[in-house]
Amino acid sequence: MLKTPVTLAIALALATASLGLPAEPAQAAATKESAQAMNPFFQPSPLPLQYPQFDKIKDSDFAPAFDRGMADNIREIDAIANNPAAPTFDNTILAMERSGQLLRRALVVFFNLTGANTNDALDKLDAEYSPKLAAHNDSVYLNAKLFERIKTLYNSRDKLGLDAQGVRLVERYYTDFVRSGANLTEAQKTRVKAINSEMATLTTKFSQNVQDEVNDSAVIVSDRAELAGLSDQQIAALAESAKDKGFPGKYRIALLNTTIQPLLPQLDNRALRERIHKASVSRGSRGNQWDNRAVVSKVAKLRAERAAIMGYPNYAAFGLAEETAKNPEAVNRMLEQLAPPAVANARKEGAVLQAMIDSEQKAKGQPSFKLEPWDWAYYTDKVRKAQYSYDEAELKPYLEVNNVLENGIFYAVKRLYGVTFKRRTDLPVYQEDVQVYEAFNEDGSQLAFVIVDPYARSSKRGGAWMSSYVDQSALMGTKPVVAFHLNVTKPAAGNPALMTWDDANTAFHEFGHVLHGMFSDVKYPYFSGTNVPRDFVEFPSQVNEMWSDWPEILANYAKHWKTGEPMPKALLDKVLSASKFNQGFTTTAYLGAAMLDQKWHQVSADKLPDADGVLAYEAKALKDVGLDYAAVPPRYRTTYFGHIMGGYAAGYYAYIWSEVLDADTVEWIKNHGGLTRANGDRFRAKLLSQGGSKDALQLFRDFAEQEPDIKPLLERRGLTTQP
């Protein structure tokens, strides 16, 4: 291969160093320049669709890319702000859309990796650069000259000869600048900058504390007998995990991010269930180096102060102003409508579980005990077996990960949208378990790359999520590169990766986000893919869940991993008939978290507790709204509630808000033929492809031709009548 001058310069420098000879100044300069040129972020990736060069990216590449990216971006912004020509859509708005490309390339890879495959070096960089990036953001959005140009365009937006998407882009830029503080006094801007910097540091610390403590809080079991109820494969995986972490001969039960842990339905040993639950709920509040109480208190107060500076009574009012809900009162009305029947259902379910406990203990000749949170999943599984004659373990052999993905999700996408997927093994990945697929439209044209990351590991945050590496944009000439993350337990070598029913449903859900990003067909990067209001973004993904148990789809993927036999119809019928079973628990746990989120964000700073009062504040908040049923704790406790320290602050309600639209849409699709190309093409054209280019609720109306109605949601969750 012919060496380029850059490569040759590096080779000469290495040769000189190995000989121990002093480099000439010109050589030293060339070496520095060449090393910088080798940074994979300094130019767009040469791989197809600008797919990241994971095989070339090193941890040491990020800081230089951030520094140069911010400097380049400031020069671009200054050139726009100081342009002597009168502001136009092209020289101001589109110039901003095109700016910051180097910084974006580095940031999207960095934040994807800190979520999916972090390490100490990346965590250190995250902590170091979070306040710097916040300051950089402020330097853009608080640039007075730039805002004046945007304001001028905003005031004449209907006279610029723009199409609807162009007018909306001007409006969104203006609103973003105002909400960032562009209209504030200089003293207020100075305080907002300080708040933003401190919050960036604190929220990064919070997320790192959660991740580090999850890894440290794994429950170690010495006696195999304590694991009664688990399969041999599960026990082997726990043993392997313990060995990998320095506990040979023991068993390691890693915690996931939610309150309720996945092994609780199976473990017969009540004392071990209690250990696991208490390890889970005490995270972030143990007084150790990962204690998050002070962080939570400070962030909540800073958010409230910032909202007050912006002219809002509390952070929720500020945060919701640009969502489809518009204000806290609308959120409260919906949550308050759902809470009483949900808790009533949960208490009824709890009474059934308590009766089973009493009966079992009496049969053993032992005293009964009160139902506790660590008992709920275990006895729910027993009730499910008794009432519906199946348990979750019966389903897992039919839910092998690759089968669910390729013969379930991909099959549904092909049936609905004509899209096909092909595995790519020639593209680099950031971790050995990661897979890459190329998506094609029905006419054979290239659509997107999808990065699939299925397994849990200590370097990966909990939960499941979709993210983007490259956004679609006609302006930039880019197609999507999106990622799909799950946290399925990786099996011991030689064993299949089996999912629970909830895992499979979650996979369909997250792939709904993938479709939202993959089908984007907009002009401007600002509107691409999932760049929609927070309380709308979950809607398309929740719609995609409907296909997980659609008979034709299920029959294609729910096959025994060893024999290939399809899931028996009788078992499927039991699953479907039990679909509303335990919905009281599920809804109450979710609403507990959603209400906590609102309670932290619907008050002024002086009403919020200091660190020592965080847990008492949480307990009172749940009691005040009637969600203090001890047997059903919130899905997340405050001190490990990562959503509200990140992008879902005052917005965790979004899942059930979106589910109203989802339930309506599912009814529409069922009433119009179900699994058809016509329905898929309509959903793609009218909603999935539009991104944020139109008002979110108008997109729903365009598809469903009606206003949202909460009744289908209440019926789905079994909340139409008080139990």
Mean pLDDT along residues 448-460: 95
Same-domain status, 563 and 678: yes
> How confident is the model at residue 1, as a pLDDT?
38
Give me the chain's average pLDDT, please.
92
Same-domain status, 223 and 360: no
> How confident is the model at residue 33, as a pLDDT?
52
> How confident is the model at residue 721, as a pLDDT?
52
pLDDT in tens, 250-305: 999 999 889 999 999 999 999 999 999 999 999 999 999 999 999 999 999 999 99
The reply to whether 203 falls in a domain is: no
Instruction: Find out whether 723 and 350 touch, Cβ atoms under 8 Å.
Output: no
The reply to whether 349 falls in a domain is: yes
Same-domain status, 643 and 685: no
> How confident is the model at residue 34, as a pLDDT?
55
The reply to whether 721 falls in a domain is: no
The one catalytic residue in 510, 538, 618, 659 is 510
Asked if the model's pLDDT at residue 164 lies above 80, the reply is yes
More confident residue, 495 or 577: 495
Helix or strand holding residue 487 (H, E)? strand 481-488
Domain range for 364:
293-390+583-652
How many domains, the chain?
A: 5
Q: What is the CATH classification number for the domain harbouring 602?
A: 1.10.1370.10
- DSSP conformational letter for 324: S
Alpha-carbon gap, residue 46 to 49, rounded angstroms: 8
pLDDT in tens, 613-672: 999 999 999 999 999 999 999 999 999 999 999 889 999 999 999 999 999 999 999 999
Q: What is the CATH classification number for the domain harbouring 683?
A: 1.10.1370.40
- Residue 510 is a catalytic residue: yes
679-687 long-range contacts (CB < 8 A, ≥24 apart) are 679/416, 680/415, 680/416, 680/417, 680/418, 681/417, 683/416, 683/540, 683/543, 684/417, 684/515, 684/519, 687/540
pLDDT in tens, 482-498: 999 999 989 888 899 99
Mean pLDDT along residues 578-595: 91
> How confident is the model at residue 718, as a pLDDT?
77
Asked if the model's pLDDT at residue 23 lies above 50, the reply is no
Q: In the structure encoding, which two tokens stand for residue 571, read together?
A: 């078992």
The reply to whether 279 falls in a domain is: no
The reply to whether 284 falls in a domain is: no
More confident residue, 17 or 454: 454
Same-domain status, 557 and 687: yes
> How confident is the model at residue 664, as a pLDDT?
94
The reply to whether 278 falls in a domain is: no
pLDDT range class, residue 2, cuts 50, 70, 90: very low
Same-domain status, 256 and 336: no
What is the number of H-type helices and E-type strands within the chain? 29, 7
The reply to whether 238 falls in a domain is: yes
User: With 0-12 CB in 10 A as exposed, 13-18 as middle and 19+ as buried, what is 563?
Assistant: exposed
pLDDT range class, residue 31, cuts 50, 70, 90: very low
Same-domain status, 550 and 487: yes
pLDDT range class, residue 36, cuts 50, 70, 90: low
pLDDT range class, residue 717, cuts 50, 70, 90: confident
φ/ψ (deg, to 5) at 324: -70, -25
> How confident is the model at residue 35, as a pLDDT?
53
Helix or strand holding residue 253 (H, E)? strand 251-253
* Angle formed at CA 266 by CA 262 and CA 269, multiple of 5 degrees: 110
pLDDT in tens, 205-258: 999 999 889 878 899 999 999 999 999 989 999 999 999 999 999 999 999 889
Same-domain status, 384 and 527: no
> How confident is the model at residue 4, as a pLDDT?
31
pTM of the model: 0.87
Q: What percent of the chain shows pLDDT beyond 90? A: 84
Q: What is the CATH classification number for the domain harbouring 124?
A: 1.20.1050.40
> CB count, 10 Å around CB of 287?
8
Same-domain status, 589 and 700: no
Instruction: Find out whether 660 and 713 touch, Cβ atoms under 8 Å.
Output: yes
pLDDT in tens, 367-412: 999 999 999 999 999 998 888 887 778 899 999 999 999 999 999 9
> How confident is the model at residue 37, as a pLDDT?
65
Q: Among 614, 634, 652, give the residue marking a domain's end.
A: 652
Longest dimension (CA), the chain: 89
pLDDT in tens, 533-572: 999 999 999 999 999 999 899 999 999 999 999 999 888 8
Alpha-carbon gap, residue 127 to 125, rounded angstroms: 5
In sequence order, the 6+-apart residues with CB closer than 8 A to the CB of 43 are: none
Q: Among 652, 667, 688, give the residue marking a domain's end.
A: 652
Q: Are strands 446-455 and 435-440 parallel, antiparallel or unpaired?
A: antiparallel
The reply to whether 212 falls in a domain is: no
Same-domain status, 524 and 594: no
Q: Lowest-pLDDT range, 134-138, 285-289, 465-469, 570-574?
A: 570-574
Q: Among 652, 668, 683, give the residue marking a domain's end.
A: 652
Same-domain status, 663 and 646: no
Q: What percent of the chain shows pLDDT beyond 70? A: 94
Same-domain status, 622 and 645: yes
Same-domain status, 455 and 425: yes
* Angle formed at CA 433 by CA 427 and CA 434, multiple of 5 degrees: 40
